[in-house]
Structure formats: C-alpha cells, structure tokens
Amino acid sequence: MSNIGFVIDSLNGGGAERALLNLTKNIVELGHIVHVFILRDEIDYKIDRSIFKLHVISENGKIHPNKFINRRKLAKMLLNKIDEQNIEFSLFVSHLELSDEVTKIAQLPNLYHCVHAVISKFIESKYKNTQGIKKLRRRFKYFLKMKIQYDNTKIITVSHGVADDLKRFGIKPKSCITIFNPYDFDYINQRANEEVIAEDDFIVCVARFAKDKRHDLLIKAYASSNIEQKLLLFGTTDKPADEVNLKNLKNMIHALNLEDKVIFKGFVENPYPWIKKAKALILSSNHEALSSVLIESLILNTQVVSTNCPTGPSEILEGDLSQFLSPVDDAVKLASNIKKAIDCPIEITNKYYDKFNGKEIAKQYLSLAK
C-alpha cells in the first residue's frame, strides 16, 4: 500500500480538477491512500471526503503581493502540511501552473509535474495582444519561465501532442511520459442516469467561457447549420476575462435572434445526463491538451464533433470518427459537421474509448511510486 500525494491549485469546475478526482478514486479502489493538497480553498465539485484526505493550504492562494515571495510562502505552508501527516509518500504529482511552481520550490521527493496544457499556446496567450519590442520581451520572458520551471524535471503529459509540443518548444525535461486522463466508465454511466429536467431535442457544449474555447465560432456554425435542435451551453466563468467573453456571446446571440435556441445553463456539477440525452456534443476550441468532455461523451455513446485543434482531439476521434474533426476557426466546416452528426451519426462503441479506462491508467501512475 502506497501513500500518494497530489497537489493542485483548487478543485473548481475545470477539466484538470475533474481528471484528478477520477484518478484519485481509481487509485483508492486499488488499495492505496491518497492525499490531495489544494492551494486555494475553492471547491465546486461534490466531494466524498471518505475516499481521500483533503488538505487546504490557504484560503485564496495569495498570502503576499509579491509573486515570488508568495510562492515561497505557499511552498513552506505545503511542506508544513505534509509534515503534519507524519507519513512517507511514495509519489507526488502536481497539476496546473501554480502548483507546479510551488511544488518545485518545495523540492518534494519523487515529484512529477502533470502538464494539462499546450505550453506553446500558453506562452502565446501571454504576448499575442502586444506588438514590437514588448511582444518579443514577453515571449522571451514566458519562454524562459517555462524553461526554468520544467527543464530537468519529471513530467507527465495528458496527450502525446502535449509532449511533442513541449519538446518542440525547446523544453528539456529529465523524463517525459504520456498518461491519458482516467475515466470511470461505470461511474459516468451511473451518474448519467440521474434524473434532470432536460430539453427534448438538443446538442451541447460543455466548456469554460474562455475566449480560446471559441463559443463565438460554435454559435456562428450553429446558426449556419440550420438544425432544429437547441444548443445548450454549460460552463463556468473563472476569470474576469471570461465574464467579458460571456457578455459578448450573449450580445452575439441577440444579434442573430437565437435567444430561443441557444440556452445558457451555467455550471452544473453533473453534466452527464445532458450529454447522454444530447444528439451531439460540440467542441470548438482553438487548443486543448486532452479534452475530457469528448471522451466522456463517447463513453455515453454520444456523437461528437470537434475542431482539430493542436493536441488531443485527433488522439480521441480516431477511425470513422475522424471525419467529424473540423479545421480550427472554420465555421463553415464546423457547421457542416454538426449537421452531418445529426443526420448521419456514427455508432459509438467501446473501441473508441477503452484506452481511457480509469483502473489501467491508475496503475500507470502507481508504477511511478517508489
């Protein structure tokens, strides 16, 4: 029996957080003990605390206005919390940017950083709205930050595309392995059977209202597809920029006279009943690491349509499903694929999702324990 420690920024409504909870459940069911350390006291998901031990490091993850000092203080608080457990951990895995920084400063033993994002796109987001010398400086600043953070460290990536991007961008880890996010098929199907008040005929999108998720592209494609089904949008607004984007999307829907057909449902802790009942799930992102919602839709035998964004979707939509991959930023092709998914759906079988079995992926993590 091993003691496994996971460190993550929070347990808000994101895909990385949901993946961690899935992984935790599967590791515990294999007979091991899991401790989850969250840097901010933010929890959106319903959690069964009898499954694992949850530790909160700070109320908001900010205890000093200086970022460098803040991270060092968080690292010290994390180490103190770990010492309080008075046990030996066989493995630590950090998830998300802040946790990666804090755990590296803390120098945790047998530490792996799980990279859920496309590094090149993360860096690009930091300078894409700048010009000239400022743009060059910001690009170099964040490239150097990623180099310092991840060079000579042990890394897990959630897709082969993320690993390829990381190395192509010049980061040189000590080791790098790909382990897909885990999924509990029985749990997903069980929760999908919960009763909800759902529309009768609809398609869905489940994604945070961030600009890069490209709800604007989806709405344009939906309008052009002329399908009868309503479009239900599920998601959170975690940042001020998300709120601005959501407001713009609502203005766009008003301008297109789609208020009666595009319905905002907000964040729901259990989106599976809606996904199961949907005629199709649509992903319109500019980039993904490994889209959980695409995999969960396949597990629920729901047709999927996705942009063929860098990393992720092409590793999920294989074989006959690859015809539903659309070029990024191409509303015409996305509209065509949405209509095709409604008119000519593909039968979804387990051959499309068996490689994401939670127990097998948990075993891959446990193989890293010492």
User: Distance (Å, rounded) from C-alpha 293 to C-alpha 349?
Assistant: 16
pLDDT-derived band at 369, boundaries 50, 70, 90: very high
- Across residues 252-256, what is the average pLDDT? 95
User: What pTM was computed for the model?
Assistant: 0.79
15 vs 309, more confident: 309
Q: What is the mean pLDDT of the chain?
A: 92
User: Distance (Å, rounded) from C-alpha 269 to C-alpha 194?
Assistant: 12
pLDDT-derived band at 124, boundaries 50, 70, 90: confident
Query: Per-residue pLDDT for 292 more than 90?
Result: no
Cβ contact 118:291 at 8 Å: no
- Across residues 331-357, what is the average pLDDT? 95
Distance of CA 267 to the CA centre of its chain: 15
pLDDT tens across 195-216, in order? 887 677 999 999 999 998 999 9
Please tell me the predicted confidence (pLDDT) of residue 197. 73
Alpha-carbon separation of residue 295 from 57, 151, 284, 298 (angstroms) = 32, 30, 15, 5
pLDDT-derived band at 241, boundaries 50, 70, 90: confident
Query: Per-residue pLDDT for 63 more than 80?
Result: no
Alpha-carbon separation of residue 148 from 51, 99, 104, 137, 300 (angstroms) = 35, 15, 10, 16, 41
pLDDT tens across 269-284, in order? 889 999 999 999 999 9
Query: Per-residue pLDDT for 237 more than 90?
Result: no
